[in-house]
Structure 1
Amino acid sequence: MVRWVLAALIFIHGVARVAADGVVPFGAFLETRGFPFGLGLAWLVTVFELAAAPLFAWGRAVAPIALVFSAIYACGIWLVHAPAGWFVVGLGRNGAEYSVLIIACLLAIAWAHRPRALSRDGGLP
């Protein structure tokens, strides 16, 4: 259930960026922060959200997708949310708390879907 909800939230995040013509401004923002090829990177993140979220929901490549999403959201905290503080609403605005929760859920799901090591006899676990 948590995986499905996260997949839906992340997919909607990408859809909203495209629908609001936000990819170009996102790319420009990344360039102001020193990232080369900001527009290309913005499209890469957006397309990854749109393509990987359904795979994540369907249980395909869950751990690697969760780790990439975690990295994307960690960058969002670093670039946008941490400078705004902790709280999203109430005692602050646009803070990091929601993104931290998303990352915690993603990492827990990645851990639950991590590849298992081969057993001692060389067979599959």
Structure 2
Amino acid sequence: MKKNFYIRSALSVILLMHSVVSIFSGDVNDFGRLYLDAIGFSPFGIYLAWAVKLIHLFSVFLIWSDRWVKVVSILNMFILTLGIYFLHWQNGWYVVGGGANGIEFNVLLICCFLQLFFTEYHSGKIQKRSS
């Protein structure tokens, strides 16, 4: 069994749903044009939105293949931190319940990526024993 199986599983479902659904619904284009461009990223908003969604999508495959896990973790933590700063901070802590659209979910995801980042992965190379 792979290390961090449950964290990998949860992150995979979340990243797939967050990317695939918004790609097929067209929300990624709206997010780029209507939100990112409006807050000062014009004319690059749509490209940034697509970069985020594609990073999320490819992250799933890289996490499960034990390739570039540290890089994937850093990229996603960076995206989630920017999401906190630009989208969620002004809404407080709670996603639901005590508020709406807050930072708690992003904080949890960042902690999951920190766990992946600090897990040791074997490169598959045979190590020589010293005599």
For the aligned pair, the TM-score class normalised by the smaller chain equals 0.7 to 0.9
Checking the alignment, whether the CA contact within 8 Å between 1:63 and 1:114 is kept in structure 2 is no
- Of 101, 105, 114, the residue aligned with 2:112 is 105
**2:18 aligned partner:** 13
Letter in structure 2 aligned against 1:15: V
Letter in structure 2 aligned against 1:32: A
Q: Does 1:71 align with 2:78?
A: yes
Structure 1's 38 and 114: CA in aligned 2 closer, same or farther, altered over 3 A? farther
Which whole-Å deviations, capped at 9, do the CAs of 1:44-95 have from their partners, x for residues lacking one? 1111111222211232111110110111111111111111110011110111
**2:96 aligned partner:** 89
* Stretches of structure 1 lacking an aligned partner (at least 5 in a row): 116-122
What SS class does the counterpart of residue 71 from structure 1 fall into? helix
What SS class does the counterpart of residue 40 from structure 2 fall into? coil
**2:57 aligned partner:** 50
What SS class does the counterpart of residue 41 from structure 2 fall into? coil
> How many residues are treated as equivalent by the alignment?
116
- Of 24, 27, 49, the residue aligned with 2:29 is 24
**1:120 aligned partner:** none
CA separation in 2, counterparts of 1:106 and 1:16?
22
**2:8 aligned partner:** 3
Structure 1's 82 and 113: CA in aligned 2 closer, same or farther, altered over 3 A? farther
Deviation at 1:13, TM superposition (A): 0.5
Letter in structure 2 aligned against 1:94: N
Q: TM-score by structure 2 length?
A: 0.80
Q: TM-score by structure 1 length?
A: 0.84
Structure 1's 55 and 67: CA in aligned 2 closer, same or farther, altered over 3 A? same
Checking the alignment, whether the CA contact within 8 Å between 2:66 and 2:121 is kept in structure 1 is no
**1:118 aligned partner:** none
Runs of 4+ in 1 over 6 A off after TM superposition: none
Percent identity between the aligned chains?
33
* Stretches of structure 2 lacking an aligned partner (at least 5 in a row): 123-127
CA separation in 1, counterparts of 2:103 and 2:64?
24
